[in-house]
Amino acid sequence: MQAFIQHTGIVIPLDRANVDTDAIIPKQYLKSVKRTGFGPNLFDDWRYLDPGAPGTDNAKRRINPDFVLNDPRYSKGSILLARKNFGCGSSREHAVWALDDYGIRAVIALSFADIFFNNCFKSGLLPIQLDEHIVDQLFDNVAGMPGYQLTVNLTGNPLITPDSQKFKFDIDPFRKHCLLEGLDDIALTLQHADKIRDYEARRLKEAPWLFDVTS
């Protein structure tokens, strides 16, 4: 996965609480187990005025002009700002994949659903939990400044505003290490590839019948 060290991006204000995973990526798009291709259908039911399905040409669909992703001011946004309990609902990893495929690198919210929060780190997406008064301030800043940007410097855990305000957020040290190094679960395992090969070679000698695939 892509490492996360420092990122500066336009903030997309999604002023909603309890955004569930079915809203993030509807169930009809869950047939694929690839991690790519979900971005065009991120927030599909809110983003378009007509129903979508896998294989639909989204360029021919009617967009919802009132939804934030269709606002030209946020078309290149990469930091999503939301309210409490973001990512609630089902445990689908596709929700994180859709955000990542769209280009979202961080999600800022008052709180996150536990499973969604854990899934974020597996794909290199950074969930940032902040106090309500800070989130309120950020929404006000976005409303008052077109193209409002934030910088996230994961090395020191600060969220930095254009006027140099810094807000610290908590992150587990191990998860921070994995993000900084770009290590997902598979990459973490492969760090021990030599030991795994040594173990397999030893087991082959000790119990060769376990590896007999001819019977």
| Amino acid (one-letter) located at 52 | G
pLDDT at 190: 66
Return d(Cα 172, Cα 157) in angstroms, integer.
11
Q: What is the DSSP letter of 153?
A: E
Return d(Cα 37, Cα 58) in angstroms, integer.
12
| Amino acid (one-letter) located at 13 | P
- Parse the chain into domains and list their residue ranges: 6-182
Q: Name the strand (E) or helix (H) holding 188.
A: helix 185-190
For domain 6-182, give the CATH number: 3.20.19.10
pLDDT at 2: 87
Mean pLDDT, 10 residues at a time, the chain of 215 residues:
94 98 95 87 97 91 96 95 96 95 98 96 95 97 94 93 95 93 74 75 81 66
pLDDT at 213: 63
pLDDT at 189: 67
Whether the Cβ atoms of residue 179 and residue 3 lie closer than 8 Å to each other? yes
161 alpha carbon, distance to own chain's centre: 21
Nearest residue to 10 via CA among 79, 109, 67, 82: 79
Return d(Cα 168, Cα 183) in angstroms, integer.
23
Whether the Cβ atoms of residue 178 and residue 188 lie closer than 8 Å to each other? yes
